[in-house]
Structure 1
């Protein structure tokens, strides 16, 4: 599905998370109209990879950066597996609403992701990861998207850091940004 630029910051999408690729990325099957359009009781979300191929939207959770998983010959960061496992358990095969902020250079949609629990409580998935010490607030010189939640995110990160939970329990913690910078310097 192509997201038009006029949808940025003005629209949200409702859908089912079909897979989690890493600690801050997921695949969303868009369900226009939600339950009112019959999704979940009249219309079914495909479950086979062959049926989902080309029909999901790649989502990058806004404002956070989870530890990097092993790829391209680079080792995984500590807590990369735990972050991905937690995110998978929390959102996979569940319905979410994503608030579209923009797209990135990899054609992923940068979005704030919300999930409902018990039908009435809405949770910000990125914020929950920060509270558990499974991600840092996203660090970049330009183009960081927080969807108006930067203060909230930074406060959650500071609280997790003080409590030494998750990644903050490590003695020599290297942030995902520092890790990426270190490996990009090795390439040069």
Structure 2
């Protein structure tokens, strides 16, 4: 009997706390021109990743110049070419939507690129810097994998088949790049950095 009463009091207290929390939590007001439909969110997200890919085209050569491991340098060099293709595929998506390709600053990618730059400044050239470059690059890849997966899902629902095709091609390449970075790190590079 005492257990039932204690359980009821705990449940009542939890319910009251949840109701109070939802009353005090405020909704974030939408900006002027905010997305109202999935298509709007899709197009806005395309602008974001378009900016991100173009920023990567500029940032990757610096990472390659700072790397010392030959496999890492070769992997980055290959990904520079792929990233240029990613930009072209995004332009094809905009074209399929009947829109002009437009970039909108991606704060998340800017943060990841800034972190990568900091890692290079805070490490000595060699295996330690190479390990840091891989860590920074994989964070970028994981962000891109999440973004392209989401965009492909949006495009599928919106029946934007040409976009789905392009986005899935890029998603597959981003996953392969992440796997390559893991392989380079695991093949003795992290051990050399000790």
The normalised TM-score by structure 1 is 0.32
Tell me the TM-score normalized by structure 2: 0.31
Please say which structure displays the higher CA radius of gyration: 2
